Structures are given as C-alpha cells and as structure tokens.
Chains A and B, each alone.
Chain A
Amino acid sequence: AQSVTQLDSQVPVFEEAPVELRCNYSSSVSVYLFWYVQYPNQGLQLLLKYLSGSTLVESIDGFEAEFNKSQTSFHLRKPSVHISDTAEYFCAVTPDSGGYNKLIFGAGTRLAVHP
C-alpha cells in the first residue's frame, strides 16, 4: 500500500518570496508522483508529474519538483510566488504497475501568498 504525507497544512509566504511545499511518500513498489493545485470551489488541475527520466520536473508557470528516491520525497518549489498562487496543493502517488490505478492523495497544503 502507498501513503503520502504533506508535512505542512498551511504555508504563509510573502509575494515574490521563495516557497517549498513538502511531500513524502511510502511505497513498496515504484510509483508515479503528481502535484495538483485546487483553487476555491474548483476541481484539481495537474501542476506537474514525475513518471520516469529526469528527477527534476517543471511546470509552465515556474513550479518545479524533484523526485528523491532515497528520501522518498517529491517536494514542490517556486523561487518567487505570486498572489495568484494562493491555493490548495495536493501531492499524490500511484503505483507504477501499468493499467489504471488509484491516486493516493496527501492531506494538502494551503499556500497563502500575502502582499
């Protein structure tokens, strides 16, 4: 079985400051890793994913995450945040076993960007 731990339930940060949202996972098999963003009263949008290859993955709006197998982590970072980045961020994993699989979500981290 897999589990995901997001260590911070809330992260307040000032605009233009860097931010890191932490995600650790537990799994006995290889996994795919995802970060999703949820704006108020909306569904989830995929931010970035790691399936294979380079351990550093980037999104089009400046976020990046690095897969660290030894530390079983997939932390999300952004060097300079905007007010519009205020949202809930979910880390998720699914086993790398082919076919369809359940996404296992972390509890979420609320990023609050202040002016």
Chain B
Amino acid sequence: GAVVSQHPSRVICKSGTSVKIECRSLDFQATTMFWYRQFPKQSLMLMATSNEGSKATYEQGVEKDKFLINHASLTLSTLTVTSAHPEDSSFYICSAERRDSYEQYFGPGTRLTVT
C-alpha cells in the first residue's frame, strides 16, 4: 500500500505555455500533499504544502502565481507551472502524507523541460 503516482512522467513544453502535473495517492487518503523541486545532483527543495480544500502554503521565494497548486480531493493535487520558462526546467516530485501517520510517500517525479 501507500502508492503515489504522478502524471506525466516527462513533459516538454515551449516557453510561455502552461503545464499541469498531477499527483495522486492511489490507495490511501492524503490530507496533506507536498510539492518539491530538485535540480540535478541537488537535494529536494520544498516548494509548497497543500491541504485538501484550502489554499496552499508556499515556501519563501516560491512564486504562488507562477506555481499554482490545487488540492481538490483527498487523493489528488495538481501543480500548474504557468508561463513556463527554460529556468523552470527541473524534476518535480510530490509526496502525500497519510491521514493516520507522519510518513510521506513520494511520487516517481515529473521531468519538465521548457524549450
């Protein structure tokens, strides 16, 4: 149990377009989901925390108007990168926290390339 999926796994888009990434907890309910960004050979940096039915909490330095997060249900959160630029190219990873534990379960990640 405790499987988290992300879709798509890879996406290439043109500069100026928007991209939506989905994060789903497949076999458990997640009241909280987290979005991370990882640059090559670096650690994960938390971008935002989202709770089902409420606005996301963004980390300092993360533009909330650029990285739109929606957590519409207990099993789905989406991250939309708006007006993407090449510097937004990165590996985006989500995680979901089970309602009954303190553990986070991570998705497989989405490789975004903006050309």
Contacts and interface: CB of A to CB of B under 8 A. Distances in A.
Contacts, number: 49
Contact of B104 (A103, A107, A108, A110): A103
Given A103-B104, A108-B43, A43 B93 contact: yes
Contacts of B95: 44, 103
Contacts of B91: 41
Interface in B23-69: 31-32, 34, 41-44, 46, 49, 51
Contacts of A44: 44, 93, 95, 106
> Counting chain B CB atoms within 10 Å of each CB, which of A44, A90, A102 scores highest?
A44
Interface in A68-105: 90, 94, 100-103, 105
Q: Per DSSP, are chain B's interface residues mostly helix, strand or loop, or mixed?
A: strand
Given A49-B103, A100-B97, A42 B109 contact: yes
B107 A41 contact: no
Interface string B75-105: 0000000000000000101010100001111
B108 A90 contact: no
Contacts of B111: 41
> Counting chain B CB atoms within 10 Å of each CB, which of A32, A100, A102 scores highest?
A100
A102 B44 contact: no
Interface of B: 4, 6, 31-32, 34, 41-44, 46, 49, 51, 91, 93, 95, 97, 102-109, 111
